[in-house]
Every structure is written in structure tokens, then in C-alpha cells.
Chains A and B, each alone.
Chain A
Amino acid sequence: MNDVVNWDVVAAEIGPKLFRYFCARFSENDADDMTQDTLIRLLRKVELGQFDPKKGSLRMLAFGIAHYVALEKSKELRRHQMQEIEDGMLTQPSAEQELIDQTASQLVKTALNHLSEQEQHIFTLLIDEEMKLEEISLITQSPLGTVKSHIHRAKKKLKELIQKESTQ
């Protein structure tokens, strides 16, 4: 498998999908670093013979890795934020406060941060229009019904948060 993979093509095709996935939750700079980190981890898995094409596509493995990269980043950001709150440098804002004076995509991004990790992960996987629910189910190792209910709940929560902001 590792002899067949053209990594320039992988970077050109899967890289942008990963970048958009990360951009929904993190800054552009962070998204760029995280995309590179994910692609490198993907390359290592394939080159060291840890990828089985029978279990899923390279794209699915990439998004599976991306989930863990995003989790690590979220924990790191939360740690910094908690540290700053403890140091009295900032107070923890409410969801509504955060949504004030933001553009549409910033609104969605901020609202997304108030979903659970799993809801965020599943919802942002849908940014890739080619992604099917069955693939999301495999990537997240959740039953299809759970994926659908996460999506439904995420949409509802996002709409509520964004509507609240627009009526203020």
C-alpha cells in the first residue's frame, strides 16, 4: 500500500478537507498546523504498514486521526483558558456573550464550541460534502442512529444559539 500512495496527491485532495474541518473550530493558523500534523500521522501509519484498506478509505482514516488531533488541541486550549481564568485575567464568558458582534461563520464557530466534543466532531465532518453518514459512523465508531441524533441535536442547539443572538 505504501508504495502506491502518492502523498502529493493526498495533500492536495485530503489536506483542504481537513483544513476546513479544523477551521470550523479553531483559528486558521491552528487549523493549518493541525492539518499538517494529521497528514504526517497519516503518512506514518501507512508507511509503517498500519493501514488496512479493507477497513476503510485513506480519507476516513485521516478524519479519524483528525478527531484525536482536535481533541488534543481542545484540551490544550481549555487548559490555557482555565489558567487565565484562575489567574483572574479573564472571566468565563457565557455562550450568549460570546455570540455578540460576530460574523455568520464566527457565530457558527462559537456556537459549535458549546456542543459536546462528539457533537462537534460529527457535525464538522459534514463540512466535507462527500462524507456519508455511514462513513461518519465508522470514523466515530458510533452507531448510525447515534450519528443522526447527534446531528439533529447539534443543528437544533446551533440554531437556538444563533437565533438568540440575532433577536438581541
Chain B
Amino acid sequence: MKDYELNELLKEFRDKPVSNERVAKWQLALGKEKRTIQISKRSRFIPMVAASVVGFVLGATLFGQGPLHNPETNHSNNSSEDATIEYVLTKTD
């Protein structure tokens, strides 16, 4: 923007020097912040994984107790002669 008055008013601010030490301080702060964000991004997965494992274990425990696994009602492996009758009676109940 070519404006003589503006340049006069802002000249000293525009010419203000910024030391390398100051820039290095900002760079250090940014480096630390970036590492903090990366760590928090990674650690966000831990509760998700833990919840998945717990869900899997719970599901296996609960659904693993279905009628197919109940020895009293599971007749598929029963090779006795009365197995068919027991099955029919159970189903009727």
C-alpha cells in the first residue's frame, strides 16, 4: 500500500528488529506444543482399545452362555438313544 502518511505513521513499527533469540524461543515453544498434541492424539486410542477389549470379553461371556452351550439343553452332541425324545420334550416345553 503506497500511502506516504500511512508509512510515516507506521514506519517505526515496521522497522522494529526481531532478534534470533526471540524467534528461537517461539520455535522451542511450538516444538513442545506439537509433541504434547502428538502424545495426546496417540493416548486417545487407549480408552477406545480398552473399551473394545472389555466389550469383546463381556460379549463372549454373555453370548457364550446361550442354549447351544448349555449342557442341559444342548442335545447335538448327545449320542444316547433318548436324545431325540429329550430334544422334542425340551422344545415342547
A-to-B contact residues, CB < 8 Å: 7-8, 10-12, 15-16, 19-20, 23-24, 32, 35-36, 39-40, 43-44, 47-48, 104-105, 108, 124, 126-127, 129, 131-133, 151, 155, 158-159
Contacts and interface: CB of A to CB of B under 8 A. Distances in A.
B31 A104 contact: no
Given A12-B23, A108-B13, 10 more contacts: A7-B27, A8-B31, A19-B18, A36-B29, A39-B29, A43-B34, A108-B9, A124-B13, A127-B10, A155-B5
Of A40, A48, A159, most buried by chain B (CB within 10 Å of CB) is A40
Interface in B1-41: 1, 5-6, 9-10, 12-14, 16, 18, 22-23, 25-27, 29-31, 33-34, 37-38
A127 B23 CA distance: 19
Interface in B31-66: 31, 33-34, 37-38
Interface of B: 1, 5-6, 9-10, 12-14, 16, 18, 22-23, 25-27, 29-31, 33-34, 37-38
B24 to A, nearest CB: 8
Given A16-B18, A105-B12, A155-B5, A36 B34 contact: no
The DSSP consensus for interface residues of chain A is: helix
Contact of B23 (A16, A20, A47, A108): A16
The DSSP consensus for interface residues of chain B is: helix
Contacts of A43: 30, 33-34, 37
B5 A159 contact: yes
A48 B13 contact: no
B30 A10 contact: yes
A40 B30 contact: yes
Contacts of A32: 22, 25
